[in-house]
Structure 1
Amino acid sequence: MSNRQNSTSQAPEPGTAPSTFAFEESLPRVPLPTPEASCERFLSWCAPLLTPDELAETEAEAAAFLRPGGPGRVLHAALEEYEATEGVRSWLDAFWPYRYLGRRDRIALNANFFFLFQDGGEGQVPRAAGLIAGALHHKGLLDREQLPPVMQRGVPQSMAQNTFLYSTTRIPGVRQDTVRAPCRARGSQGAHGPCGEDLPGPSDARHIVVFFRGRMFRLDVLGADGVPYGLRDLEAGLHAVMKAGAEPAAPGTSVGHLTTLARAEWAAAREDLLRVDPRNAESLDIVETALFCVCLEDFAPAGVQEACDELLYGDRGNRWFDKAVSFVVFADGRAGINVEHCELDGTTILGFTDFLLGTPAEEHSLRSGARSRGLPALEPVVFALDARLRERVRAAAESFAAYGDATATTTVTFPDFGSTTAKSLGMSPDAFVQCAYQLAHQRAKGLLGATYESIATRQYRNGRTEAMRVVTPEMRMFVAAMEDPATPPAGRLAAFRAAAEAHVARAKAAQAGQVPEQHLWELELLQRRRGPELGVAEQPALYRTPGWLKMRDDYLSTSSAPSRHIRFFGFGSTSSRCIGVAYVLLPERFNLYLSTPMPVADRMHAFADRLREAVAELRHLLESGGGGTRG
């Protein structure tokens, strides 16, 4: 998932600011909780979701997990030893590859996320060329380490993820995927893939891959001297691609469809590509080393929701979902980005987006040192396919189209409510909307279910995100008070404020790394990887308890992307009954994109309706000070 980010700002302009990675080595390590602390927090987190009998069962297994010589003690000791190993920068260094690269289902729709940019007012080609120019300006600053470090309330944030923006591609594997990225030696990062322990980048690639009508083209965007092509040159190159690709790709020839497959299936198909014709290795190399992808669509979505859907799971052979960054530009100039999640979180893409869209394209081009040099070199990227591979491509296209059709989505917009409104009423904006989600869910589905919120932890070395669980005892009491006709407005307001305060406290604990889920999860993964060696041959029973299973069975999966340059952001749901809640909460507006499997569509739409009511009701409750009922 992408992650919630409090207000951030870029440091001063290059030349007056520290270098991009100036603070990396001085960032504190991610705190490693004790097993006692994690189990205590876990029990308090899962308790509001359990019956007394379920809680008692979970408590008993937590005690067994922590007994002297018990599995929790053994696994935690091994984790402590790992963290102390030279070159390891975080006890989560092994966790992240398994979490993201170990998943075996499709990443298209299930893992990749998107942003729909604010409209720019340009046509398709100028908009695409402007995004390319902005990205090349960004890359030049990053390569020279002149991109200002992000500061959050005066605290430097890790910039390491930026090194995965360019020429980075996820490579499918049978058991676990890897990451292909350019390499440079900057000391150990505990990375995985071809760079070993080196921090990726800078890339010496000079090309991007442009998709149009299911066909792929290599397009140079940097000269041999590393200087970007001028803006008009880029536009000419894109026009040339569209002319060369005017004839849509023949069915079964758009290899990008294969990136929508489950990972082991795609790994097998990729091996077949390499086996069928040695020239396919060169074509794969062009795609995988490209700085990024630009997907030009030959249609304009009918509305905002359709644009969001196309950014999440639009295909037509016009995507390479394994690519770290893919810009999508529609025929009317509307644009967005699709991001492969394994090395990039929402906060990094937020900063990237703000950089791209916060400066006019002409200015980006000028600042990058771009110069006119004529039409960029371009060539089609062609794969040699036998009948079996063509059939596999066709089948992948049909399967993913059906998968998209089996996904229900909707957008919800609050044009007159935003973070400024919540703050003016003395309420944390995020606490307000999370309380509204729980109230709406109760009214739409008749229950409170496990709710995930992603919390950014980039203030730590190699920090990414922490998992926060939203349903606290105070949240349950708040929802009960709102649903009890006998509770007076003053009582409802008191319960609302108590739930909000508990939410803020838990979010702060998550930002400080004082939370249980990822710690206990990594201990479980450690048992899978090294259990027999450590004398823990079987999965500890703690991970089969009602507490562990219910706490992590998401009914709502939520994440925020606050940027004035973004209209909507979104991702797929995380389970068969989960509603993905991606929200853009800004001072003056509040937009959401909801997604869920089709069997949950009616309840998702009911949730959206109840959410509209809940936001208005809670706003009135704060405005009235609990002094009266709504008329």
Structure 2
Amino acid sequence: MLCLKGSGGRFWRPQQPPRDWWGFLSLPRVGSGAGAGAARDYWRSGDQQLVSSTWDLDHHYVHRSVIPTLHFQQSLPRLPVPNVEDSIKRYLAAQKPLLRENEYRITEKLAKDFKNGVGKKLQRHLVELDKKNSHTSYISGPWLDMYLSARDPIVINSNPFLILKRDPQESYNRQIMRATNLVVSAMKFLNSLRNNILEPDIYFVNPEWNKSKKFKRFLSFLPTSVSWYGAYFAEAYPLDMSQYVHLFNSSRIPKQDKDQLFSDPGARHLLVMRNGHFYVFNILDPIGNILHPHEIRAHLINILQDKETIAEYPLGYLTTENRNTWAAAREQLLKAGNEESIYKIDSAIFCLCLDSFRIEESSHLSHCMLHGYGYNRWFDKSFSLIVAANGDAGINFEHSWGDGIAVVRFLNELYENSTKHPAIEPRSTTAVLSPTNVEKLAFHLNDSIQTAVTIARQKFDKKRHELKVKPFEFRKFGKKYVIQERMSPDAIFQLACQLAAYRHFGKIVPTYESCSTAGFKHGRTEAIRSATIYAKQCAEAFIRDRKKHSVQELRKLINNCSKYHKFLQLEASLGAGFDRHLFALRYLAESRGDPLPEFYQDPAYDYINYNIISTSTLNSPSILLGGFGPVVPDGLGIGYHICDYWVGCNVTAYAETDLDEFLLCLEGSFNDIFDVCEGRPLQ
């Protein structure tokens, strides 16, 4: 039975401590003073004998960094505003392979007129605004507004997913055990973050510096106003960590025409979804200590033992709707007296989705994490941790607040901590606890809300049945081979995609590769346009004229692609792309109420932003698969990882795109590249 707002569970003394356990009692890190006394009094409210407070209190954290989490934030360099001349030059270079000669000439004239006219005026205003807002970047506000103003459903269209590898010890992959260990590790990450002891994100050119405690201690002593420069001179590059504030206790709130981000860091409860029902329980005590892991497990068992079938009107479907439609339905929910329950959803630390079905195969796993069946998801949460009945786990995250670099870091810590230091284990024993403090949220649903849920479900079911997801692996070579051949692994993957697209579509198509600009204060992302003139030359040689070129000529074309792609990659990571700059200039013109410049009305501008192929790398030791939906109806979404000895990706497409044929083209492209690298002529 669920105990609605029941008394808190009591702690019992274990017969012996399990391995790597964090201690049976949650107490503050400081062992004296008012805070510690309050904690002891809090736990003495139970009538059972409590465990000694001598346990290792550091088990409340994933680690304790010598360098404070935000030590470099103040001195991070600012994202540069590119020159209009440079952005137009880069823009025209990206348009060249996509347009016919007569189309290119029209676009070139419009671009040059913009550069010499209204573009100069907008640039001047943009630079002035940037100087007035030295605490942030020129793209941060406009990019957030772009996400929040989009009215399409965020499921599939916006929210990405990442799938964790299974625990190496299969006995730890039972649903409740996996969920408990992941939840505890997530809370330890939260505590490390909020106590400013989470290791800062730093890219080390020399990995040895990352292992040096002396070097890190030296950096920690530097004043925050110059700390970034101290790291820079040692070729260590701290990254922006401003996005982490929205990782927990946050939700996207639907509003008419533009959504809002909501956060309540004071909330202490976890949200759990099961069969479309909502449950909450406090997972932090009043002074921020984590609930004991065995009690967390008891709460989750209690929820699974609630024998409710799938909710008749699962409210999660509403988060799959058009944002204006969802905003109107939310207002109805609030007016019907559901304010408290909705607030508990919005303010929860995060959402744990306990699915009732087992994963059948890899495509089913991707479908589960990207959209599921709709009823057991709340896509507006900053992230949802999803655990299937067989222990497969991953997350689906709302994209407006942050990018992959923060989420991947979180997942890496989550996986490492939960597998190396599990909070509970198969051989640990637990006494039966008193009734658990789980609250099942209740909702008042009138006819109008019920109708809205039914319509949302019908739309969602139609959409998810149209979507296809398939994994792809190429095992003949990987990162080590490509580096040995003195080429860029990322460039080779992107080239293979261009060759496959040329085979599949018969032409080079607009392509987007996401690149992080987290090296700058409040940086977001920049686009790498891998559909280059060099990729086009290579595609024509490999596919249209494959019998006319020698192996040596083909190899030279591959090398040219690799070199140019590395150059574009470096430009983008340094904030010197053109996409974000041109977007910011357009945003500025629109926000000022200026007429839209003719440059932005060019069909070629719309076309280059109609990304048939959208890609993002997901390299991580903890991630099995990941991905996102296509960004256009006839496009492909490609999340890829390049491992030491193989290359893999997860590709999404709608029914109108022949996904199987594209994957055959992709395999053929990789084979062609490999044959040329091995000195074999193409067949």
Instruction: Output the TM-score relative to the length of structure 1.
Output: 0.89
Distance in 2, matches of 1:592 and 1:88, equals 37
Q: Secondary structure at the match of 1:161?
A: helix
In structure 1, which of residues 357, 360, 363 is the aligned counterpart of residue 415 of structure 2? 357
Matched AA of 2:443: F
Distance in 1, matches of 2:296 and 2:562, equals 50
User: What is residue 9 of structure 1 aligned with on the other side?
Assistant: none
Report whether the alignment pairs 1:575 with 2:632: yes
Report whether the alignment pairs 1:251 with 2:297: no
CA-to-partner distance for each residue in 1:226-245, whole Å, 9 max, x for gaps? 2112222111110101112x
User: What is residue 53 of structure 2 aligned with on the other side?
Assistant: none
Shift of 1:309: 0.7
Shift of 1:364: 5.9
User: What is residue 482 of structure 2 aligned with on the other side?
Assistant: 422
Shift of 1:248: 1.5
Q: Secondary structure at the match of 1:593?
A: strand
Shift of 1:250: 3.6
Q: Secondary structure at the match of 1:542?
A: helix
CA-to-partner distance for each residue in 1:356-415, whole Å, 9 max, x for gaps? 11123572649xxxx999765211112111011011111111210111111122111234
Shift of 1:544: 1.9
Gaps of 5+ in 1: 1-11, 183-202
User: What is residue 163 of structure 1 aligned with on the other side?
Assistant: 245
In structure 1, which of residues 124, 137, 143 is the aligned counterpart of residue 194 of structure 2? 143
Q: Secondary structure at the match of 1:477?
A: helix
User: What is residue 378 of structure 2 aligned with on the other side?
Assistant: 320
Distance in 2, matches of 1:615 and 1:549, equals 30
Distance in 1, matches of 2:640 and 2:434, equals 42
Cα gap change, 1:569 to 1:137, in 2 (>3 Å): same
The answer to whether the 8 Å contact 2:97/2:508 transfers is: no
Distance in 1, matches of 2:450 and 2:607, equals 43
Instruction: Output the TM-score relative to the length of structure 2.
Output: 0.82
Q: Among all aligned residue pairs of Structure 1 and Structure 2, give the percentage whose two residues are the same amino acid.
A: 29
Matched AA of 1:352: F
Q: Secondary structure at the match of 2:648?
A: strand
Distance in 2, matches of 1:276 and 1:375, equals 31
The answer to whether the 8 Å contact 1:114/1:312 transfers is: yes
Distance in 2, matches of 1:402 and 1:390, equals 19
Q: Secondary structure at the match of 1:228?
A: coil
Distance in 2, matches of 1:381 and 1:327, equals 19
User: What is residue 207 of structure 1 aligned with on the other side?
Assistant: 269
The answer to whether the 8 Å contact 1:213/1:316 transfers is: no
Distance in 1, matches of 2:420 and 2:633, equals 46
In structure 2, which of residues 403, 409, 417 is the aligned counterpart of residue 345 of structure 1? 403
Report whether the alignment pairs 1:265 with 2:317: no
CA-to-partner distance for each residue in 1:21-58, whole Å, 9 max, x for gaps? 11011111001011122112111111111111111111
User: What is residue 42 of structure 2 aligned with on the other side?
Assistant: none
Matched AA of 1:479: A
Matched AA of 1:29: R
Cα gap change, 1:362 to 1:430, in 2 (>3 Å): closer
Cα gap change, 1:414 to 1:235, in 2 (>3 Å): farther
Distance in 1, matches of 2:455 and 2:250, equals 27
User: What is residue 515 of structure 1 aligned with on the other side?
Assistant: 577
Q: Secondary structure at the match of 2:366?
A: helix
Distance in 1, matches of 2:177 and 2:420, equals 10
User: What is residue 8 of structure 1 aligned with on the other side?
Assistant: none
Cα gap change, 1:15 to 1:309, in 2 (>3 Å): closer
User: What is residue 458 of structure 1 aligned with on the other side?
Assistant: 518
Q: In angstroms, what is the RMSD of aligned CA positions?
A: 1.9
The answer to whether the 8 Å contact 2:285/2:291 transfers is: yes
Shift of 1:204: 2.4
In structure 2, which of residues 638, 641, 647 is the aligned counterpart of residue 590 of structure 1? 647
Matched AA of 1:422: V
Distance in 2, matches of 1:339 and 1:86, equals 28
Distance in 1, matches of 2:348 and 2:574, equals 37
Distance in 2, matches of 1:232 and 1:374, equals 12
User: What is residue 55 of structure 1 aligned with on the other side?
Assistant: 104
Distance in 1, matches of 2:541 and 2:311, equals 60
Q: Secondary structure at the match of 2:198?
A: coil
The answer to whether the 8 Å contact 1:528/1:539 transfers is: yes
Cα gap change, 1:342 to 1:86, in 2 (>3 Å): closer
Distance in 1, matches of 2:534 and 2:482, equals 19
Report whether the alignment pairs 1:410 with 2:470: yes
The answer to whether the 8 Å contact 1:347/1:561 transfers is: no
User: What is residue 666 of structure 2 aligned with on the other side?
Assistant: 611
In structure 2, which of residues 161, 164, 174 is the aligned counterpart of residue 114 of structure 1? 161
The answer to whether the 8 Å contact 1:117/1:567 transfers is: yes
In structure 2, which of residues 367, 371, 390 is the aligned counterpart of residue 309 of structure 1? 367
Shift of 1:418: 2.4
User: What is residue 91 of structure 2 aligned with on the other side?
Assistant: 42
Shift of 1:424: 2.3
CA-to-partner distance for each residue in 1:113-170, whole Å, 9 max, x for gaps? 0011111221000011111001010001001010010111321011111111100100
Shift of 1:591: 2.2
Cα gap change, 1:86 to 1:442, in 2 (>3 Å): closer
Report whether the alignment pairs 1:506 with 2:506: no
CA-to-partner distance for each residue in 1:521-564, whole Å, 9 max, x for gaps? 11111111113xxxx3x211101224312221211000011012
Distance in 1, matches of 2:295 and 2:480, equals 43
User: What is residue 438 of structure 1 aligned with on the other side?
Assistant: 498
Cα gap change, 1:374 to 1:556, in 2 (>3 Å): farther
Q: Secondary structure at the match of 1:508?
A: helix
Distance in 2, matches of 1:630 and 1:480, equals 14
CA-to-partner distance for each residue in 1:406-451, whole Å, 9 max, x for gaps? 1122111234532222222222110110011111111122111010
Gaps of 5+ in 2: 1-60, 205-235, 425-429
Distance in 1, matches of 2:556 and 2:521, equals 39
User: What is residue 174 of structure 1 aligned with on the other side?
Assistant: 256
Shift of 1:614: 1.5
Distance in 1, matches of 2:120 and 2:615, equals 32
Q: How many residues align?
A: 580
User: What is residue 280 of structure 2 aligned with on the other side?
Assistant: 218
The answer to whether the 8 Å contact 2:184/2:423 transfers is: yes
Matched AA of 2:295: D
The answer to whether the 8 Å contact 2:180/2:423 transfers is: no
Distance in 2, matches of 1:50 and 1:610, equals 23
Q: 4+ residue stretches of structure 1 with deviation over 4 A?
A: 12-16, 371-376
The answer to whether the 8 Å contact 1:233/1:374 transfers is: no
Report whether the alignment pairs 1:130 with 2:181: yes
Distance in 2, matches of 1:595 and 1:360, equals 30
The answer to whether the 8 Å contact 1:13/1:148 transfers is: no
Report whether the alignment pairs 1:281 with 2:339: yes
The answer to whether the 8 Å contact 1:509/1:515 transfers is: yes
Shift of 1:466: 0.5
Matched AA of 1:157: L
Larger Cα-atom Rg: 2
The answer to whether the 8 Å contact 1:439/1:479 transfers is: yes
Matched AA of 1:177: D
> More deviation in 356-365 or 314-323?
356-365
Matched AA of 2:577: V
> More deviation in 548-557 or 505-514?
548-557
Matched AA of 1:149: P
User: What is residue 629 of structure 1 aligned with on the other side?
Assistant: 681
Cα gap change, 1:375 to 1:567, in 2 (>3 Å): farther
Matched AA of 2:98: L
Distance in 2, matches of 1:375 and 1:568, equals 39
Report whether the alignment pairs 1:565 with 2:584: no
The answer to whether the 8 Å contact 1:43/1:547 transfers is: no
Cα gap change, 1:423 to 1:399, in 2 (>3 Å): same
Q: Secondary structure at the match of 1:554?
A: coil
